Structures are given as structure tokens and as C-alpha cells.
Amino acid sequence: MRSFSIFSSCLVGNREAINLSICNRIDLVEFLVAPASKVLDHWFESDILKATLATDAAIGSMASIYSPGSGYVLLHHVMGETNGARGIWSYVEGGMGAVSTALGKAAMELGATLVTNAEVNQILTREDYHNHLVTGVLLNDGTEVKAKAVLSNATPYVTFQKLISEGALPDEYLQKVKSIDYRSGTTKFNVAVNKLPNFSVCPNTSEEPGVQHFGTIHIGAESLTHIDVACQEAWSGLPSQRPIIEMTIPSSLDKTISPPGQHVINLFVQYTPYELKVGDWRSCSVRKKFSSSCFSLIEEYAPGFTSSIVDYEMLTPPDLEQVFGLTGHVDLISNLMLTSRGETDERREQGETRKGGRAGRGQEGKGLGGRE
Ligand SMILES: Cc1cc2nc3c(=O)[nH]c(=O)nc-3n(C[C@H](O)[C@H](O)[C@H](O)COP(=O)(O)OP(=O)(O)OC[C@H]3O[C@@H](n4cnc5c(N)ncnc54)[C@H](O)[C@@H]3O)c2cc1C
């Protein structure tokens, strides 16, 4: 854990931490480029513990925990902190939307005008000598909004390939954007239940949530091999037969998001390929088969779970794309780390964009950087 702390400081550019000993430098490089399996084998013996930690190396990606670079995915997921506590993730009271609401409120207090439900059809540019400069956006309803700068938090695919006309970007830059690998094997479930899961290994003692409900609950993955098999299935175009499930129950701590006694459960599930070799995610039977396999797996650990389900929403990679404009759901693997997300050498040197004009700086903030 101390190593995680040093390495995360390095990644955010903490000068003191950059003065690493040779040993720590080797460990850092190993984290960045090695397979997660190698990192975990180095530090731990228990298969179950390694598999539990390894799910954080696979999450959000289509990579195996034996793939080079998956060590970084693991580091990425444990290096954060909340209120000074390292490696801790938090729930947002009122649900994730409360973050956007708070940002919007703060922006409006500072004089910003917010317009919602307004899809951008085009980012407008004009030619200025060798550059294309951004002049604003065109909304789907035909409204033109003039601006000196446009910040986009849509994905690079949406921003640079759909919203900006091709001729406005340098070929080299566009080529890099086009080569971004968006494959992700994650499906998200939002489940409403009428009672808390009752885990066989830690049975409920009352109807109130216990510590076993507060954190991230890892279900299914009991060995590194198991996670790898689940990934191999997805690589061949099939949803994993025994998926890897991370369950969280935000309502166990946040009473504002469900009626008394009822709960909201989030399932982060891997692996589900964007394109299936057989069938289609739009098919009801394909969806039902996969959701049933997830619920049956949970049932093995928490008998009675399936019958407690009041309703659920299932978001496969194509659903995440359709509902949120989230292209594929970009892979966290190391070839997309730091400055490797489509920046041209010219931009790295000069710290600003060319041709894409000032829009590029904002766009770089998201899509190119802000993944989970
Ligand atoms: C399944 C899943 C689970 C996750 N779990 C977690 C988690 O537990 N914790 C965590 O911290 N992070 C998590 N993340 C990551 C987190 O969701 C993202 O990091 C975060 O949403 C990024 O925020 P954003 O505002 O940059 O982009 P987004 O939330 O992707 O917002 C981009 C917005 O742009 C809009 N848009 C796209 N195109 C247009 C257009 N043409 N015109 C107008 N608007 C447009 C989209 O509709 C969307 O609202 C998860 C992500 C996924 C996919």
C-alpha cells in the first residue's frame, strides 16, 4: 500500500515522490507495464485475495489480468483517496447525478447559463491562415451558439470524428484519434430490491445494513485463472459464462435514494463484448439469458437475491453508447495512458493545439483523460 501511495504521487507529478529509490523505480515501471497477475503474484499468496484484487485490474477493460499493462489498471483503481483516506471510494449522497447538479449550481452562482437537452450537431470552425479556429456550436434544433472556446466532454470519437469536420484537423492528429481502442467489456446493472442481500459467508443479523453491505462486494472471481477464462470467452465474442461481478449497495449508506427497507444495487459486470459472435444485445432473449446468469451467480453467494428483485436496468456496452454517447467505453490500458491519447508531438511541445484551435485544449480534458 505504501508503494501504491508513492506511485500515485508520481503519476500526479509530486516532485518529492519523483526522487524514487532504484527499487521503487523498478516497482513503478512494473506497475505501469506488467500484467496485474505478475504484480499480484509478487505480493500475495492467496488465490481468492489475488482474484479479488485482480478484478480492479480488469474493470472497464477488455484486457486479461495476464495482459501487459493491466498492472496499471489495478494501480489506477486503488490510488485515489477520499477525505485523506487512501484507496477509498465514496458514494455520492443522492446518487451520481448529485455531482452534476452541484457543479451546475456552482456554475450558475458564478453567472453561467446552463442549457440542457440540447444536442450539439456540429462544432463550428473557420479557417484562419493555417489553422482552423473554433467559432461555436450548432445545436440539433438549428440554434447557433457563438463562442471563442468550446470544451467538450464527449468522447474523442464523438468530438473529433462526428462533431468537427474532417478537414479542420491535422491528418496526423485525426489518425491518432481514429486509432483509439474503445473496446470495453463492461455491463452495468442498476437493480431495485425489496430486501438486502443475505450473504452466506456473513449472514444478516437484522433488516438493517451491516458492514458486509457497505463496501465493494466481489462476486464470482475466485482465482486469476477464472478471470482470464472469462476474458478469453469475451475475446472470442461470447459473454463470460461465469461473469465477474462487483456489487455496491449505495442505499446501505444513503437513505435518500430508496424507500425505507428497499435498496438500490449497482452491478459492474465483466466481460460482455460490444459485438457478439452469436446474437445481438438488442435481442430480449440474449439480454435475459445474460442477466439471469448474473443473478444466478449472485444467488450462489446470497440465496434469495433473485426473488428480491423488484426491477432492473441493464446497460451493455452498446446501451452505454446509445444512452450516454459513450463510445464503446474507452479501455484504460496503458497504450492510452497520460499523453498517449491522441496528442500530436507538436501539441506536447507547445502545450496547445493546432488547427483544432482552442477547442482542442478543452477536449483534451475529457475523453482523452477522464475515464474511470
Ligand atoms: C459502467 C460504468 C461504471 C462507472 N463507475 C464509476 C464509479 O463507480 N466511480 C467513478 O468515479 N466513475 C465511474 N465510471 C466513470 C464515470 O462515469 C466517468 O468517468 C464520468 O461519467 C465522466 O464524466 P464526464 O462528464 O467527463 O463524461 P460523461 O459522463 O460521459 O458525460 C458526457 C456527456 O456528454 C453528452 N454528449 C455526448 N455527445 C453530445 C452531443 N453531441 N451534444 C451534447 N451532449 C453530448 C453525453 O450525453 C453525456 O451526458 C463508470 C463508467 C461506466 C461506463
Query: What's the pLDDT tens digit per position in 100-158?
Result: 999 999 999 999 999 999 999 999 999 888 788 999 999 999 999 999 999 999 989 99
Query: Global pTM?
Result: 0.83
- 176 plus 243 within the same structural domain: no
Q: Which amino acid is at 106?
A: A
Helix (H, G, I), strand (E, B) or coil at 99: helix
Residue 195 has pLDDT above 50, yes or no: yes
For the residues 79-86, what does the mean pLDDT come to? 84
- 125 plus 212 within the same structural domain: no
> Atom 49 of ligand 1 has which residue's CA nearest to it?
324
Please answer whether residues 32 and 293 qualify as being in contact, where contact means their C-beta atoms are separated by less than 8 angstroms. no
pLDDT of 6:
57
- Whether 372 is covered by a domain: the verdict is no
- 318 plus 343 within the same structural domain: no
Residue 81 has pLDDT above 90, yes or no: no
pLDDT of 167:
87
Residues with Cβ within 8 Å of 159's Cβ and at least 6 positions away in sequence, in order, are 123, 152, 363, 367
* 330 confidence band (pLDDT: 50, 70, 90): low
Least confident of 4-13, 112-121, 225-234, 301-310: 4-13
pLDDT of 272:
96
Number of domains the chain contains: 3
- 26 plus 125 within the same structural domain: no
Please answer whether residues 153 and 366 qualify as being in contact, where contact means their C-beta atoms are separated by less than 8 angstroms. yes
For the residues 341-345, what does the mean pLDDT come to? 49
pLDDT of 149:
95
Query: How many helical (H) and strand (E) elements, i.e. helices and strands, does the chain have?
Result: 15, 10
Strands 186-193 and 144-146 come out as: unpaired
- Whether 99 is covered by a domain: the verdict is no
- 338 plus 320 within the same structural domain: no
Nearest to 197 by CA among 264, 260, 269: 264
> Atom 27 of ligand 1 has which residue's CA nearest to it?
153
pLDDT of 83:
85
Residue 198 has pLDDT above 90, yes or no: yes
Q: Which of 125-139, 168-182, 268-282, 338-352 has the highest mean pLDDT?
A: 268-282
- 189 plus 305 within the same structural domain: yes
Closest ligand 1 atom number to CA of residue 186: 1
State the Cα–Cα distance between residues 82 and 87, nearest whole angstrom: 8
Instruction: Report residue 272: phi and psi, to 5°.
Output: -130, 105
Please answer whether residues 61 and 268 qualify as being in contact, where contact means their C-beta atoms are separated by less than 8 angstroms. no
Q: Which domain holds residue 63?
A: 2-79
- 198 plus 168 within the same structural domain: no
- 57 plus 24 within the same structural domain: yes
Give 92's DSSP letter.
P
- 357 plus 342 within the same structural domain: yes
Return the best residue to mutate from 79, 124, 153 for the ligand 1 pocket (most ligand atoms within 8 A of CB): 153
| Residue of 28 and 73 predicted with greater confidence | 73
Q: Which three cell numbers stand for residue 98?
A: 448529485
Return the best residue to mutate from 88, 324, 332 for the ligand 1 pocket (most ligand atoms within 8 A of CB): 324
Please answer whether residues 250 and 164 qualify as being in contact, where contact means their C-beta atoms are separated by less than 8 angstroms. no
Residues with Cβ within 8 Å of 73's Cβ and at least 6 positions away in sequence, in order, are 36, 56, 57, 58, 59, 60, 61, 63, 332, 333
Least confident of 33-42, 69-78, 269-278, 354-363: 354-363
Closest ligand 1 atom number to CA of residue 325: 37
* 361 confidence band (pLDDT: 50, 70, 90): very low
Please answer whether residues 69 and 76 qualify as being in contact, where contact means their C-beta atoms are separated by less than 8 angstroms. no
Closest ligand 1 atom number to CA of residue 152: 34
Please answer whether residues 168 and 157 qualify as being in contact, where contact means their C-beta atoms are separated by less than 8 angstroms. no
- 172 plus 206 within the same structural domain: no
- 140 plus 243 within the same structural domain: no
> Atom 4 of ligand 1 has which residue's CA nearest to it?
372
- 193 plus 303 within the same structural domain: yes
Which residues' Cβ are closer than 6 Å to ligand 1? 119-120, 153-154, 158, 186, 188, 268, 320, 324-326, 329, 366, 370-372
Q: Which amino acid is at 36?
A: A
43 CA from centroid of ligand 1 (Å): 34
- Whether 261 is covered by a domain: the verdict is yes
| Residue of 99 and 356 predicted with greater confidence | 99
Q: Which three cell numbers stand for residue 213?
A: 453491505
pLDDT of 28:
77
